[in-house]
Amino acid sequence: MVRREIFTDEHIAFRDMVRSFIDKEIRPFHEQWERDGVVSRDVWLAAGRQGLLGIDIDEEYGGGGNADYRYYLILGEELARAGVHGPGFAVHNDINGAYFRRLCTDEQKRRWLPGYCSGDIITAIAMSEPAAGSDLQGIKTTAVRDGDDYILTGSKTFISNGILADLVIVVAKTDPEAGAKGVSLLVVERGMKGFDRGRNLDKVGLHAQDTAELFFDNVRVPAANLLGEEGQGFVYLMHNLARERLAIGAAALAGAEAAFELTLEYCKTRSAFGRPIGKFQHNRFTLAEMKTELTVARPFTDRCVMAESEGRLSAEEAAMLKWWNTELLVKVVDRCVQLHGGYGYMTEYAIAKAYQDARIQTIFGGTTEIMKEIIGRGLGV
């Protein structure tokens, strides 16, 4: 891999460590996890021991201290390059970590963060509902204040880490009449009465990543589990969604680059009519087009990574990145399957698994259409 200017020697050493971790703790088990539909909790504990969880959480809680976003970026890239999407570290680190680090009270930090960093506590965030996906203002889940508790009622779906999660950040309406200003974030804990998990959803791809339905039947959530201020949930979500979309977009580009590299090697070694298939002009042109598109996408991705590291990534830039890179991933992987011919449709081949896993990328975290809407609004139209 060509060294990228945005990384220091420390980042490069961290990448080497992550690759070793993946080779030792994930690759040997991932095929079984795919069959199981969920990873072992052991990999979370191993990640905690290796310092891969809570990288930017204060050291007093077991985190890595004031580490910059590029470490999370490296972890996400390497998981994508390896095609091992089972461990939902990105939800835990890239998404939920930003909420816990910014919004937790000191008491909440003491209660949750040590386990969060060690891997003993796995987290999820519950936004999507059966009738409300990208339109977060359309959620129906409510949380009514009752003394020192909130009574939480509703359901969520498509929740990554939903089966394994010990803590779930739930988006709920605490004041249904106030619109966006009536949305709050509550942390629901495993074992709370009335909190139930539905089935582990059967997906087209990402088979090792547990994705669940969650149900809340008059769950008493202590007011002490309110994350941030009541009524500010929508503001928090809008602020943190840019980071989530950056994580998805950056991983998508890494996955597309890996698919291309795999296919380029295949085109050099697979022969037809007496010569490598990459020697045929159409195939060579297809490879040239993909290489160009990937090369053009890389600088903007790295620019967004640095913007996030410096606290200046805009919602519009994140939307551009998420849209462009996820659509590019789908396009590149589709072309790569075609170049593999019949073998590309066999699930024993890595490119077939990449094909299955790629399709969701343009949907979760905000669809391509929503990304274009965000960009358009930023233009004042």
Helix (H) or strand (E) holding 107: helix 106-118
Q: Is 115 helix (H, G, I), strand (E, B) or coil?
A: helix
Q: Are 6 and 302 in contact (CB under 8 A)?
A: yes
Catalytic entry in 129, 230, 244, 308: 244
What is the widest separation between alpha-carbon atoms in the chain? 79
* Catalytic (active site) residue 369: no
Q: ∠ CA 92-253-35 to the nearest 5 degrees?
A: 55
Alpha helices, H only, 150-280: 233-269
Q: Is 1 helix (H, G, I), strand (E, B) or coil?
A: coil
- Which residues contact residue 190 at a Cβ distance below 8 angstroms, ignoring those fewer than 6 apart? 165, 166, 167
Q: Report residue 317 CA to chain centroid gap.
A: 17
Alpha-carbon dihedral sign for residues 97, 102, 105, 109: positive
Q: What is the rounded distance in angstroms from the CA atom of residue 157 to the CA atom of residue 201? A: 9
Q: Is 126 helix (H, G, I), strand (E, B) or coil?
A: strand
Q: Is 244 exposed, middle or buried (0-12, 13-18, 19+ CB in 10 A)?
A: buried
Closest CA to 374 of 316, 331, 322: 316
Q: What is the rounded distance in angstroms from the CA atom of residue 149 to the CA atom of residue 37? A: 35
Q: What is the 3-state secondary structure (H, E, C) of 291-355?
A: HHHHHHHHHHHHHHHHHHHCCCCCHHHHHHHHHHHHHHHHHHHHHHHHHHHHHHHCCCCHHHHHH
Report how far apart the first and last C-alpha atoms of the chain are (Å, whole number): 41
Q: Are 123 and 160 in contact (CB under 8 A)?
A: no
Q: What is the rounded distance in angstroms from the CA atom of residue 42 to the CA atom of residue 119? A: 9
Catalytic residues: 244
